[in-house]
């Protein structure tokens, strides 16, 4: 059974720091992995989508990597800003389950 | 701009009442999904539909019902059989099951039992 874990559940860092959010999954049989951002009381905004054949994707200050063999993905945020404060969720499209499975998210707080 | 519209943003339900949450998309996506989100928990799949007039139960379908009469619309009804309906509900859509394309989400509906 595919399980997706995000650790830590919460993270607080000062503005300007580079940081890494982690996502791990138990079954390497995935089609893709997607990182989302969720602001309080809002829906999910897609940040990056990595296909199973890709190693990384970049968008602005964000870089997501994927290592299927070890069941890990990281979201790297460069030069963090207070506006980056949100909950970040990763989701894998599991080929065995034929659906996407979400992690519980990391709540990120950037201190000015 | 294409996207997913959920309404209302806030909804209050009395005990024993059925309520319907609206989800409309203009992305021409084939598949649509309903998720429930509770504080501190991940998203849980309620129902999904990959084609008009067809839908499947997700992990927590009890107490909910859906219809898919149009490609653009996938309303969710929270029935009186759902004993703990207070939660944040999110609708999503994708192209043919989302393989390779990812999911697009609406802005959510917060349902509260009063």
Q: What is the mean pLDDT of chain A?
A: 94
Grade residue A98 by pLDDT with cuts at 50, 70 and 90.
confident
Contact of A19 with chain B, judged by CB distance below 8 Å, is answered with: no
Chain B 1-60, residues with CB within 8 Å of chain A CB atoms? 6, 40-43, 45, 48, 58
The closest CB to that of B43, out of A34, A98, A102, belongs to A102
For chain A, give the number of residues.
Answer: 112
State what percent of residues in chain B have pLDDT above 70: 96
Only one residue has tokens 């499975």, namely A101
| CB atoms B106 and A43 under 8 Å | yes
Give the pLDDT confidence of B52-100 residue by residue, as tens digits: 999 999 999 999 999 999 999 999 999 998 889 999 999 999 987 556 6
Whether A72 has a pLDDT exceeding 70, the answer reads: yes
Task: Tell me what the mean pLDDT of segment A59-84 comes to.
Answer: 97
> Quick one: which of B31, B56, B55, B33 has its CA closest to B44?
B33
Structure tokens at B42: 């991940």
Contact of A104 with chain B, judged by CB distance below 8 Å, is answered with: yes
| CB atoms A41 and B108 under 8 Å | yes
What pLDDT score does B8 carry? 96
* A102 neighbourhood in chain B, CB within 8 Å: 42-43
Interface test with A, best of B23, B103, B110 (most A CBs within 10 A): B103
What pLDDT score does A33 carry? 95
What pLDDT score does B40 carry? 74
* A100 neighbourhood in chain B, CB within 8 Å: 98, 103
What pLDDT score does B77 carry? 97
Task: Tell me what the mean pLDDT of segment A42-61 comes to.
Answer: 95
What pLDDT score does B1 carry? 64
Task: Tell me what the mean pLDDT of segment A101-108 comes to.
Answer: 94
What pLDDT score does B97 carry? 55
Grade residue A99 by pLDDT with cuts at 50, 70 and 90.
confident
Whether A1 has a pLDDT exceeding 90, the answer reads: no
Give the pLDDT confidence of B3-12 residue by residue, as tens digits: 999 999 999 9
CA dist A101 and A92 (Å) reads 5
CA dist A28 and A54 (Å) reads 13
Nearest CA in chain B to A48: B102
C-alpha B26, offset from chain centre: 16
Extract long-range pairs of A42-50: CB within 8 Å, 24+ residues apart. Answer: A42/B107, A42/B108, A43/B6, A43/B90, A43/B105, A43/B106, A43/B107, A43/B108, A44/A89, A44/B90, A44/B92, A44/B103, A44/B105, A45/B105, A46/B102, A46/B103, A46/B104, A46/B105, A47/A75, A47/A88, A48/A75, A49/B101, A49/B102
State what percent of residues in chain A have pLDDT above 70: 100
B80 vs chain A: nearest CA distance in angstroms? 25
Whether B36 has a pLDDT exceeding 70, the answer reads: yes
DSSP string across A24-72? EES---EEEEEEEEE-TTS-EEEEEEEETT-SEEEETTEEEEEETTTTE
Nearest CA in chain A to B99: A31
Whether A95 has a pLDDT exceeding 90, the answer reads: no
What pLDDT score does B100 carry? 67
């Amino acid at each position: 059974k595919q399980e997706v874990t995000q650790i830590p559940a919460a993270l607080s860092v000062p503005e300007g720091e580079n940081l890494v959010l982690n996502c791990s999954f138990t079954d390497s049989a995935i089609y893709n992995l997607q990182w989302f951002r969720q602001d309080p009381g809002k829906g999910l905004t897609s940040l990056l989508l990595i296909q199973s054949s890709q190693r990384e994707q970049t968008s602005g200050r964000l870089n997501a990597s994927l290592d299927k063999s070890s069941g890990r993905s990281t979201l790297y945020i460069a030069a963090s800003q207070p506006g980056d404060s949100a909950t970040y969720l990763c989701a894998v499209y599991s080929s065995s389950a034929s659906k996407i499975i979400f992690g519980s998210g990391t709540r990120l707080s950037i201190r000015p | 701009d294409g996207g997913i519209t959920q309404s209302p943003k806030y909804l209050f339900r009395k005990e024993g009442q059925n309520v319907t949450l609206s989800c409309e998309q203009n992305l021409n996506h084939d598949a649509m999904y309903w998720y429930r989100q509770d504080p501190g928990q991940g998203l849980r799949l309620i129902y999904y539909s990959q084609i008009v007039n067809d839908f499947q139960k997700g992990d927590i379908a009890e107490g909910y019902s859906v219809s898919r009469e149009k490609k653009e619309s996938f309303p969710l009804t929270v029935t009186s059989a759902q004993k703990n309906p207070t939660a944040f509900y999110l609708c999503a859509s994708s192209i043919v099951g989302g393989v390779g394309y990812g999911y697009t989400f609406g802005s959510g509906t917060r349902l509260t039992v009063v």
